[in-house]
Structure 1
């Protein structure tokens, strides 16, 4: 069944998100490993994705780990450098779909304040036909609530949605609701899928 709308995750689909790689470049791999072992930084980020205030969460975490305070504050002060660079081919695919009149939605675990920062750097984040951002909704993938919110708000039947995400658990949650899914492991595979679905021509998917 040909999809009626395409749903994009953002991190590692449209924008690279590799905090470990970033901190390797800033403090070195050895200290990065020690830092990430001492502090649940991804859990910290998850609080932001659920809608807590970005600056408050970082300051609270830094206060709890004074020996790592300076490094934790880097997560706040240089956040946009972690959310970098854009995955250009994916961005072109998004624009090509919209150029063909295919609605494109975001479905992303993203904080309220951090999304504003990202959208200032990456104009394409302002171009979705509909946004479904966890920080605003108060629910994150792979919890069912965020998928349900998209279904109800968009009015598109689950089996007419095509969703790409880099995480298997997020894909599995969507598939369980009857969505068509694609595990993103690079833009070329995603381009090939969009061509196979008849949404783009091979030339349009370049």
Structure 2
């Protein structure tokens, strides 16, 4: 984490694993019951590196075609990744959501910055209406760039007229926290809601 002498005026939340849960093993534990086989599928076919390109803006049709061309025998499972996406975001982290909503209620400037495919984010907003409450959001799939690239932090600050040094970014990924710091922001690593509340209290936000 990092902090500076600039008071925090803008609080920016990540979404996945900060406000809502995400785990592709949830549907795939049913589709590929054998744990070792399932892990191999995620390590060699529907990998994190493959999935993050949808967060950068690649269409699911293109993403699926790319893998099916290489692994035609796994076509049904490859298509199942997108088809069963809603199961992967199984629940909200209500304690974190409550912190965010309390900050907004207190008049704090709250926005969100997330690595998310554009179409699945539309679904996430339908599933979790609290994602519509902050002043705005930068979705990586809509702007064609992803965290921890500095460009997305700069884009977010410019889009919402934020002073970078007065921004506090909350993310569960150390790399994304470091990306925010490199962009001149303050940032804390999210581990759980209670620790977040302590961080916000220490920084004078609550």
In the other structure, the counterpart of 2:55 is 49
C-alpha RMSD over aligned residues = 1.7
TM-score by length of 2: 0.90
Number of corresponding residues: 200
In the other structure, the counterpart of 1:204 is none
TM-score by length of 1: 0.90
In the other structure, the counterpart of 1:156 is 162
In the other structure, the counterpart of 2:191 is 185
Q: Which whole-Å CA distance do the structure 1 matches of 2:142 and 2:74 have between them?
A: 30
SS class of match (2:187): strand
SS class of match (2:155): helix
Structure 1 position 21, deviation (Å): 5.1
Structure 1 position 155, deviation (Å): 2.0
Q: Does 1:116 align with 2:122?
A: yes
**1:138-153 alignment, distance < 5 Å:** 138-153=144-159
In the other structure, the counterpart of 2:29 is 24
Gaps of 5+ in 2: 1-5
In the other structure, the counterpart of 2:9 is 4
Deviations 1:28-61 (A, max 9, x none): 2122112123215212211211112234423442
In the other structure, the counterpart of 2:3 is none
In the other structure, the counterpart of 1:169 is 175
Structure 1 position 63, deviation (Å): 4.1
Deviations 1:142-191 (A, max 9, x none): 11110110121222211110101111111011112221111011111112
